[in-house]
Structures are given as C-alpha cells and as structure tokens.
Amino acid sequence: MQITVLGGSPKGDDSVTLQYVRYMQKTFPDHDYNIFHVARQIRKLERDDKVLQDIVDKIALSDAVIWCFPLYYCLVCSQYKRFIELIFERKKGEAFRNKYAVSLSTSVHFFDHTAHNYIHGICDDLEMKYLGGYSAEMYDLVRSRERARFVQFAGNFLKFVERQVVRGKAGSGGEAISARRVQRICL
Ligand SMILES: Cc1cc2nc3c(=O)[nH]c(=O)nc-3n(C[C@H](O)[C@H](O)[C@H](O)COP(=O)(O)O)c2cc1C
C-alpha cells in the first residue's frame, strides 16, 4: 500500500516523532511510505505551489495518510497549522477525501488530546476516514512494552486499511463500514 506521512515537526528528519514512523517502516516493510516534512518545509510550500501540489498528488494516490506530529504548546506547531490552512486556502482538499487517516504524536503527555481532537476535526472537514490516534510519550520507543503497544496499533491500522482497499477493489462495499467499528478495530 501507499502510505503518505505528513511530518509535523520543525526538526524534519531529526524529529523524535518521525522515529516512530521509521520503526513502523522497519517492522512493516511491505508498504511504501512517502514522508513529507511539511512543517519544516513550510516557507517553501507557501512560496512554491508546485512543491505543495507534488505532495497533494502523492496523497491522491495514497491508500492512507499518517498525521505525524509532536505537541508544541498544547497543540500542533504553527507550521503544521499553516500547512493545513494552505490546503484549504488553495483548494486542495479533494485529494484527501475518503482517504484513511490516523494521527500519531509524541509529547510529554500534556494536552495531547487537544492536538488529536484538532487533527480529527480537520480529517472530518476534509471528509477523510479517521481511524483513531496514537499518543506516545517521547521516550516510549526505548521501552519494550510501549514498542509492542505501538506495533500493535500500527499493525492493526495497516491490516484494516489493506482489507478495506482489497474489498473496495473487489466492489464488495469496503466503503460502507461505520466509524464506530473502524475505531474499535484500530485502537
Ligand atoms: C517549546 C516546546 C513546547 C512543548 N509543548 C508541549 C506540550 O504542550 N505538551 C506536551 O506534552 N509536550 C510538549 N513538548 C514536548 C514535545 O512534544 C516532545 O519533546 C516531542 O517528542 C518533540 O517531538 P519532535 O522531536 O518530533 O519535534 C514541548 C516541547 C518544546 C520544546
């Protein structure tokens, strides 16, 4: 499957949160992960619409999107918010419609819920199929129990999307699943 990762840390490749995606890539290598550091690149995305359009085109071809972000001051960082604004301002929301989505954060667990609720709301506005969120503490990846929990979440997410994509292609009603059932499967 094609998974697009929207990186929401101004640190780009050095982001702690991104290391969770890297771990997911290692654990589930049979998928293509297209990673975009949209928060880090925000000035370029504002200036050059072609760079933004390339990301949007990749999303249009994806099976699912991972909103991957750290908590900064009880929310996502301003650069990530600006990226979301650009999607609406430049009328690029269509690419997101009907895509499966999860949110993934790292933090010190202070007001994570506000950021996940915000991203959930954005997914609803974009008519995405939001499957739930994973809120990691920034050092969880070095704890075996937390790593296992994360792998379970990521595995359920990938398995679930894969099943829907296969069903959708076979035309047997993959679209019709209720949001409540989706959340139960994923979380
Ligand atoms: C300026 C600043 C503000 C932060 N605000 C919060 C916060 O409101 N809630 C929280 O739980 N963690 C907060 N953190 C901790 C970060 O979310 C955490 O270090 C995260 O793992 C950084 O991820 P990144 O390396 O992907 O940017 C803050 C850290 C910094 C430096």
CA 102–ligand 1 middle distance (angstroms): 19
| Residue closest by Cα to atom 31 of ligand 1 | 72
pLDDT score of 177: 44
Distance CA 57, CA 61 (A): 7
Rounded CA separation 124/147 (Å): 29
Predicted pLDDT at 165: 77
Q: Which residue has the tokens 């997410």?
A: 157
pTM of the model: 0.92
Closest residue CA from atom 18 of ligand 1? 107
**What pLDDT does residue 185 have?**
52
The 3-class SS string of the chain reads CEEEEEECCCCHHHCHHHHHHHHHHHHCCCCEEEEECCCCCHHHHHHCHHHHHHHHHHHHCCCEEEEEEECECCECCHHHHHHHHHHHHCCCHHHHCCCEEEEEEEECCCCHHHHHHHHHHHHHHCCCEEEEEEEEECCHHHCHHHHHHHHHHHHHHHHHHHHHHHHHHHCCCHHHCCHHHHHHHHC
CA of 90 to the centre of ligand 1 (A): 29
Per-residue pLDDT of the chain (187 residues; tens, 9 = 90+): 999 999 999 999 999 999 999 999 999 999 999 999 999 999 999 999 999 999 999 999 999 999 999 999 999 999 999 999 999 999 999 999 999 999 999 999 999 999 999 999 999 999 999 999 999 999 999 999 999 999 999 999 999 999 987 777 654 444 434 444 445 555 4
- Please give the pLDDT value at position 87: 98
Q: Ligand 1 within 6 A of 103 CB?
A: no
Give the residue, by CA position, lying nearest to ligand 1 atom 1: 72
CATH level 2 (architecture), domain 2-186: 3-Layer(aba) Sandwich (3.40)
Q: Ligand 1 pocket, 139 CB below 6 A? A: no
